[in-house]
Amino acid sequence: MDLNRLMTCKEVCAAALQVPRFLDALCEAAARYDGCDSLTPLHQLLDSGGLRVAVRAAREPGLLHAAARVAGGGAGPKAGAALGFLAALLQELGRVGAGPTGPADGEDPQVARENVEAATPAIADAAARGVLRLESPECVRSSVVLLEALLRADGTRPAAALVALAAPPVVPSLLRLMMHPDSLEPAAGCIALLSRLEPGRAELMKTRPATLTTLAATLRRTAAAGDSTPRAAACVVRAVVELIQGDKAAAAAFLDIALPGSVLPALAHHMLNPDGSMCHGAAAVAAALAEAAEAAGPQRLAAVAAAPGLLAAVAAAIVRAMMSPVSAPSQVRFHALDEMLTMDCDEAIMPTVGDLVECLDRLTAAGAAAAESIVGVEGLEAALTAVAANPAAWARMDATAAAARVLRRLRGAAAEAAAGEVRGQAVLSAVCATCGRMQAEEGVRLRLCRGCGAVRYCSEACARKDWVEGSHKQACKPLKKS
- Between residues 37 and 163, the one the model is more confident about: 163
Is residue 3 predicted with pLDDT exceeding 60?
Answer: no
d(CA 385, CA 320): 14
pLDDT of residue 213: 94
| CA 155 to centroid of chain Cα atoms | 26
Longest dimension (CA), the chain: 117
- Pair 243, 201: CB distance under 8 Å: yes
Q: Which domains does the chain have, with CATH numbers?
A: 1-168 (no CATH), 207-429 (1.25.10), 432-481 (no CATH)
Closest CA to 88 of 128, 43, 22: 43
- Between residues 123 and 482, the one the model is more confident about: 123
d(CA 301, CA 289): 9
Q: Looking at residue 229, what DSSP letter applies?
A: -
d(CA 415, CA 106): 73
Is residue 53 predicted with pLDDT exceeding 80?
Answer: no
Q: What is the pTM of this model?
A: 0.74
Is residue 54 predicted with pLDDT exceeding 90?
Answer: no
* Residue range 346-376, pLDDT digits in tens: 455 677 888 899 999 999 998 888 888 888 8
- Segment of 276-280, 332-336, 454-458 carrying the highest mean pLDDT: 454-458
Is residue 429 predicted with pLDDT exceeding 80?
Answer: no
